[in-house]
Amino acid sequence: MAFGYLIVAIIAAVVAVFALQNGEPTAVRFIVWTIEGVPLAGLILISLASGLVVAGVPLMIQRWRLRARLGASERRVAELEAARPSGPAPAREAPRDPRSRGAPGE
């Protein structure tokens, strides 16, 4: 657990250093729309966040569908187990030794 916190702290420090070193204002242009004075680091981090959202939403939908299928499968297994006779299982006959010939005890 401490290793995970260390990794998160290192990543946070790297992002902070990146933001401090790339703070110069930049103009953002998109089709007919322009914004002046956006910090470069902010622009890059917003682009990163929007990319994560664009990639993450389909993955979350797929995960939701798989969980729904898993729940349906678990319910089906429970139904099948409930429908099975509850009496004791029939005794299985012990496998015969292929080296023995004839009736047992000979």
Contact 34, 28 (CB under 8 A): yes
User: Could you tell me the pTM of the whole model?
Assistant: 0.49
Residue ranges in the chain whose pLDDT is less than 70 = 86-91, 94, 98, 100-106
**Amino acid 105: pLDDT:** 55
Cα–Cα distance measured from residue 63 to residue 57, given in angstroms and rounded to the nearest whole number: 10
